[in-house]
Amino acid sequence: MDIREYEALEKARLERNLAYMEAGVNFIDLKMAYIDEGVKIGKGTTIYPCAVIEGDVTIGENCVIGQNTRIKDSVIGDGVTIQSSVILESKIGNETTVGPFAYLRPGSDIGNKCRVGDFVEIKNSKLGDGAKASHLTYVGDSDVGEKVNLGCGVVFVNYDGSKKYRSVVEDGAFIGCNVNLISPVNVGKGAYVAAGSTITEDVPDGALYVARSREKILEGWVEKKGILKKNK
């Protein structure tokens, strides 16, 4: 690309951004937003610097597209806030918050009023209305119901090295921190899974699932091993 081609592309980009602004879109920095031709953006939406919006994208009204966010071939509802995240070939419902540093891979379908927090990765999965995965969670090839809470460090173990499997977490279930769901499993409506558990079988509706080994305390073990002396 020579300088004239570059200047022509830059001129076209700024003209598109000006057209969006005239249609009611807000820009923190008009020159620092990168939006492909044909992207649809609703009134009242604010675009922060270094946002990249490419391909077949529709963004609703009154959204916030935060700095360093990338959106490609996706549909974003009204009132959505996305902070420093990557959204690819996915769908996000109304009044949902995403990020910072979330990754929605192709096939993700996020409902209304959901929370997809920091360092959450979702792939080919569905989150029902009101579901929350606030931080450090991986949801792969799974269907998560309405108002489900996924605690910190939850992992859907969907791949055994040769095949991928799908799990279901039904409405109102609570999945505690550091839980592994070994797909395929089904967690029933309103069920609770205790923190630190590994799920290898279906959990009935309204049940509490606990999968931990009994803890053991060996009094005086550090002194007997001479660890304190070694560390001095």
If DSSP codes are grouped into helix, strand and coil, which group holds residue 130? coil
pLDDT at position 2 is 85
Please tell me which residue in 60, 135, 175, 183 is annotated as part of the active site: 135
Closest CA to 112 of 65, 78, 68: 78
Q: Has residue 179 been placed in a domain? A: yes
What is the domain count for the chain?
2
Using the 3D structure, point to which of 93, 124, 155 is the last residue of a domain: 124
Query: Domain with 80 in it: what CATH number?
Result: 2.160.10.10
Average pLDDT taken over every residue of the chain: 95
Q: Has residue 97 been placed in a domain? A: yes
Domain of residue 34 covers 1-124
Strands 64-65 and 81-82: parallel
The verdict on whether 135 is a catalytic residue reads yes
Cα Rg for the chain, rounded, in angstroms?
Answer: 23
Residue 111 and residue 158 share a domain: no
DSSP per-residue letters across 6-59: HHHHHHHHHHHHHHHHHTT-EES-GGG-EE-TT-EE-TT-EE-TT-EEESS-EE
Residue 189 and residue 88 share a domain: no
Q: Has residue 130 been placed in a domain? A: no
pLDDT at position 195 is 97
Q: Has residue 131 been placed in a domain? A: no
Assign 228 a pLDDT band (cuts: 50, 70, 90): low
Residue 152 and residue 92 share a domain: no
Please tell me which residue, 7 or 110, carries the higher pLDDT value: 110
Closest CA to 126 of 89, 157, 88, 91: 91
Residue 51 and residue 19 share a domain: yes
Residue 170 and residue 81 share a domain: no
Using the 3D structure, point to which of 124, 152, 167 is the last residue of a domain: 124
If DSSP codes are grouped into helix, strand and coil, which group holds residue 175? strand
Assign 222 a pLDDT band (cuts: 50, 70, 90): confident
Q: What is the pLDDT of residues 103-139, one digit of tens each?
A: 999 999 999 999 999 999 999 999 999 999 999 999 9
Residue 151 and residue 96 share a domain: no
Above 60 in pLDDT, residue 231? no
Tokens read off for 191: 């069920």
Q: What is the pLDDT of residues 80-95, one digit of tens each?
A: 999 999 999 999 999 9
C-beta separation of 175 from 197 below 8 A? no
Q: What is the DSSP letter of 114?
A: -
Residue 45 and residue 12 share a domain: yes
Q: Has residue 134 been placed in a domain? A: no
Tokens read off for 21: 């602004």
Q: What is the pLDDT of residues 147-186, one digit of tens each?
A: 999 999 999 999 999 999 999 999 999 999 999 999 999 9
